[in-house]
Amino acid sequence: MVIAPTRGWPALRLDEISAYRELLYFLVWRDVKVRYKQTALGVAWAVLQPLLTVFVFTVFFNRVGGITVKGVPYVLFSLSGMIPWLFFANGVTIASASVVTNVNLVTKVYFPRLVIPIASVLSNLPDVAIGLGLLLVVMAAYGTAPAVAILAVPLILVLVFASALAVSLWLSALSVEFRDVRYVVPLLVQLWLLASPVAYSISKIGGTWKTVLALNPMTGSLGLFRWAMLGLNAPPASTIAVSCAVTIVTLVGGAYYFRAMERKFADIA
Amino acid sequence: MSASSVIRCDAISKRYTLGTRVAGRTLRDAVAGAFADRFRRDGRVRREHRPPLWALSDVSLDVAEGDILALIGRNGAGKSTLLKILARITEPTSGQARIRGRLGSLLEVGTGFHAELTGRENIYLNGAILGMRRREIEKRFDEIVDFAETERFLDTPLKRYSSGMTVRLAFAVAAHLEPEILLVDEVLAVGDVGFQRKCIGKMSAVAHEGRTVVFVSHNMAVIQSLCRRGILLEAGSVAVDAPIDEAVSAYLRAVETDAAADLAERQDRSGWNEVWLTGVEIRGADGAVKPATGRAAQFVFTIDRAAGFERARVSCRFTVVNLLGHPVATFSSDDLGPADSDSQEAGTFTCDVAALPLVPGRYRIDVEVHGRAYLQDAIEGAAFFDVEQGVLAGRPVSGDGRGDVVIDHRWTTPSLD
C-alpha cells in the first residue's frame, strides 16, 4: 500500500466501502440503538412523528385551507407523503452533521469516510419500516387495500435514499469547514417540505411548471410512492426521468466533492 | 524497499497552515477574508500573515518486519503527525510511504466508545472501528472480557462505568487486535498501575510474536523495556535513529538543553495559552541553590497572562520525574490542604516541601497550568534540578539503592548474642 499526497480528481474507491461493510453495519446499528435511548416514549416516536404532522396538516391544509385530493382521503394522501418525506428529511438532518459528530473517529482511525454519511442515512430505515406499517394500518382503517405495485416500494425507497445521501454528501463535507451548515439545514429542510408535494397534490399543475417541480427529486419519489401504495396515477415519465437525473448528478458530484474535501477532514475538524 | 521492510517512508513532509487548524470556521470569516484580500490589493488593509508550520520535514525511515520501534521527541516534534500519516488519517503534503501488511492503529484508547451502549455492545463497535471482523470479535470475545475484568458489567451501559473500567475495557479490545503492523500512541499512560503493568506485559508478548510495532510514548522506562530501536524526532526531522538506549539518552540530553532556554520563549508547549509559565525556580533550604535530601525545598513558578484573563482561578500542577522518565510524585494546587494560603505576590505559585524525600540525583519537572476549566499551558522538562546528599531524620541517605524516594523510618535489629 502506498501513502502519498493525492491531487486533482479523487478516486471514489467504492470497492473499499464494500470491504468496510461490516463497519458500515455497526455504525448503522449504533445509530439505531442510540437514537431512542433515554427517551420516555422510545420507538413510539417513529409513529408519533408522522402521525402528529399529518394531524396538523389535516387540520390546517384540509379543514381550514380546504385542500383536497381527488380519489383519496386527505389523511391517507398526506400520510403516504409523510413516510418517504421523513426518510429524506431525517436523513438529511442527521447525515449532514454526521462527519462533525463522528469527528472522534475521523481523527483517530482510518476507514473510508463515505461510510459515515451513508450509515447516517441508512440508520433511518427502521423508522421507515415502522412508518410503512403505520400507513398500512391507517389504509386498512379507511378500507383501502394496497395494489400489486407495492412491490415497487423498495426501489422507490432506494431513490429517496439516493437523494437524501446526495444532499448529505455536499452538506456533511461542507460542515467540516463551515459550521454554518448546522444552522442552514433546519431551514433548508423546512423550505424543501413546502416545495415538495407532501401536503398538496401537483396533479393539476401542467406544462413547464411540472418540469421545474420535477427538478426537486422528491416530486418524482412522492408521486411514485403514492402510485405504489395508494394506486394513484403515476407521475409522467418525464417527471420521473428528471427526478432521477437530478439525483444521480447530485449524488455523483457530491461523492467526488466529499472525497476531495476528505483530505482535509482530520486536519481541520 | 529491502526485502524485509514493512514500512518505508521517503521524504515525508507535512505542512499545517496554522489558520486551518482552528476548528469551526464560519462562512462569515471566509467572506470577510475574501474582502480583506480585496482591500489588501488596494494596499489599505493588511492581514496578519502566519507562516505555515512544517510538522514533519523530509522524514525517511525504514522499518523491518518484527522491529519494535519507538518514536520519541518533545511535544510538537511530529511523532503523532507521523503516526497519523502512517495510519492514513491524514495525508502527507509531500513524500510517500509504503506499507506492506495489515496495519492497525491505536491512537487513543476506546475510539468510538458510546456512553449509551452496554459493555458488550461497545466491544463489538470498538472492535469493528479498529478493523476487526465480526467473526474475529466473536471468537475472542471471552478473552477480551477476561482481560478487562468487567464480566459483571457486560450488560451495563458504559456511562455507569468508572473511568478505570472504561479504560480496561478499551485496552482489552485493542490488545486483541491482531494486525501485522501496530501503531500505538501513548495509550499506556492511562489506567491504574496494576492494569498498566498488565498492558505492558501484553505489549511485550505482542512484540515477541514477531509483529512490527511502532510506539510513541513519553515514558522512557516503558520504551526502554519494550523497544529495540529508537527514533528521536526534533522539530519534524529525524535527529537520531539508533538502538533504544542511545536514542533515549539523546532525548534526555535534548530535554535538558531545552530547560536551559528561556521558559517564556519555548515553543514545545501545549494548552490554551491564555496563561503561561514564564519561570521555574527550585531552591534549597535557606535560599541554597541546590536542594538536599531531607532538607526544606521550595518550588516557585511564575506565570504571565493575556490581557482580559482576569479574576479566573488558576491552578498549578507539577510532576517530579526521574531521568528515565518515571514520574516520582505529583503536586497539585487544586487539591487543597489546611495549610495552603493565597499568594501575596501576583503571578507566583510557591510550593514548600518541609523535608525533601528524594534520593540524591538529577530530576526534571513537568508543569501544567490550568485555568477557566482548560489546560492553559504544559511544558515537559520545564526545569531540571539536582538533589544533594543529605540526611533524613538523622539518617544519612546515599542514594545508591533502588528507587527515587526515601521514607523516614526506624529499624529494630536482632541481637545475635
What ipTM does this complex have? 0.87
Q: What is the tens place of the pLDDT at every residue in B304-339?
A: 888 877 777 889 999 999 877 788 999 999 888 888
Q: In the beta sheet, which residues pair with residue B299? A: B282, B351
One-letter amino acid at B21 equals R
The closest CB to that of B112, out of A2, A25, A104, belongs to A104
Whole-number Å distance between alpha carbons of B63 and B52: 29
B95 in contact with A, Cβ within 8 Å? yes
What pLDDT does residue B32 have? 60
What pLDDT does residue B402 have? 78
User: For chain A, what's the residue count?
Assistant: 269
Q: What's the rounded mean pLDDT across residues B385-392? A: 87
Q: Write out chain A residues lying below 8 Å of B125, CB-based.
A: 26, 29-30
What pLDDT does residue A236 have? 87
User: A108 and B89: CB-CB below 8 Å?
Assistant: yes
**Between B322 and B42, whose confidence is greater?**
B322
What pLDDT does residue B36 have? 52
Residue with cell 509504503: B98
Residue A52, CB-side half-sphere exposure with 13 Å CA sphere: 6
Residue B21: DSSP 8-state: G
The closest CB to that of B89, out of A6, A30, A107, belongs to A107
Task: Give B126→chain A minimum CA distance, Å.
Answer: 9
One-letter amino acid at B101 equals G
User: A266 and B88: CB-CB below 8 Å?
Assistant: no
Q: What is the tens place of the pLDDT at every residue in B287-313?
A: 777 898 988 999 999 998 888 777 778
A259 has pLDDT over 80 = yes
Q: In the beta sheet, which residues pair with residue B96? A: B10
Whole-number Å distance between alpha carbons of B409 and B392: 9
Average pLDDT, chain B: 84
B52 has pLDDT over 70 = yes
Question: Chain A residues with CB-CB distance to B under 8 A?
Answer: 1-6, 22-23, 25-26, 29-30, 33-34, 37-38, 104-111, 177-180, 263-264, 266-269
**Between A208 and B181, whose confidence is greater?**
B181
Quick one: what percent of chain B has pLDDT higher than 70?
89
Whole-number Å distance between alpha carbons of B382 and B148: 36
DSSP helix/strand/coil, A247: helix
Please enumerate in sequence order all residues whose Cβ is within 8 A of that of B373, keeping only pairs 6 or more positions apart, or say none: none
DSSP helix/strand/coil, B323: coil
Burial class (CB in 10 A: 0-12, 13-18, 19+), A208: exposed
Average pLDDT, chain A: 92
B119 has pLDDT over 50 = yes
Task: Give B16→chain A minimum CA distance, Å.
Answer: 8
User: B92 and A178: CB-CB below 8 Å?
Assistant: no
B235 in contact with A, Cβ within 8 Å? no
Whole-number Å distance between alpha carbons of B391 and B417: 31
How do beta strands B68-72 and B229-234 pair? parallel
Q: What angle do CA B58, B85, A108 make, to 5 degrees?
A: 150
User: A177 and B95: CB-CB below 8 Å?
Assistant: no
Q: What's the rounded mean pLDDT across residues A125-141? A: 96
> Helices H, strands E: what count in chain A?
13, 1
Cβ atoms of A107 and B89 within 8 Å: the answer is yes
Q: Which residue of B has its CA nearest to A113?
A: B89
Q: What's the rounded mean pLDDT across residues B382-396? A: 87
Q: What is the tens place of the pLDDT at every residue in B194-249?
A: 777 777 787 778 777 888 989 898 778 778 888 889 999 998 999 999 999 999 98
What pLDDT does residue B47 have? 41
Residue B35, CB-side half-sphere exposure with 13 Å CA sphere: 6
A27 has pLDDT over 70 = yes
Cβ atoms of B219 and B325 within 8 Å: the answer is yes
C-alpha distances (whole Å) from B176 to each of B135, B136, B401 are 13, 9, 38
What pLDDT does residue A190 have? 95
How do beta strands B237-243 and B395-397 pair? unpaired
Q: What's the rounded mean pLDDT across residues B91-114? A: 90
What pLDDT does residue B23 have? 40
User: A111 and B114: CB-CB below 8 Å?
Assistant: no
Whole-number Å distance between alpha carbons of A16 and A22: 12
What pLDDT does residue B2 have? 58
The closest CB to that of A268, out of B20, B121, B129, belongs to B20
C-alpha cell at B404: 527515587
B118 in contact with A, Cβ within 8 Å? no
Q: What's the rounded mean pLDDT across residues B6-31? A: 70
B19 has pLDDT over 70 = no
The closest CB to that of A267, out of B16, B95, B131, belongs to B16
User: B116 and A33: CB-CB below 8 Å?
Assistant: yes
What pLDDT does residue B41 have? 44
Q: Write out chain A residues lying below 8 Å of B130, CB-based.
A: 109
One-letter amino acid at A261 equals M
Q: What's the rounded mean pLDDT across residues B373-379? A: 87
User: B133 and A108: CB-CB below 8 Å?
Assistant: no
What pLDDT does residue A53 have? 94
B24 has pLDDT over 80 = no
Whole-number Å distance between alpha carbons of B222 and B325: 9
Q: What's the rounded mean pLDDT across residues B50-79? A: 87
B90 in contact with A, Cβ within 8 Å? yes
What pLDDT does residue A240 have? 92
B121 in contact with A, Cβ within 8 Å? yes
User: A266 and B85: CB-CB below 8 Å?
Assistant: no
Q: In the beta sheet, which residues pair with residue A93? A: none
Break chain B down into helix, strand, coil percent, rounded to 5: 30, 35, 35
What pLDDT does residue B150 have? 85
| pTM tops 0.90 | no
User: B85 and A2: CB-CB below 8 Å?
Assistant: no
The closest CB to that of A267, out of B21, B24, B27, belongs to B21
Q: Which residue of B has its CA nearest to A29?
A: B125
Q: Which residue of A has its CA nearest to B137?
A: A22
Q: What is the tens place of the pLDDT at every residue in A140-156?
A: 999 998 888 999 999 99
Whole-number Å distance between alpha carbons of A13 and A195: 34
**Between A166 and B223, whose confidence is greater?**
A166
Backbone angles phi, psi at A92, to 5 degrees: -65, -45
Please enumerate in sequence order all residues whose Cβ is within 8 A of that of B16, keeping only pairs 6 or more positions apart, or say none: A267, B52, B53, B55
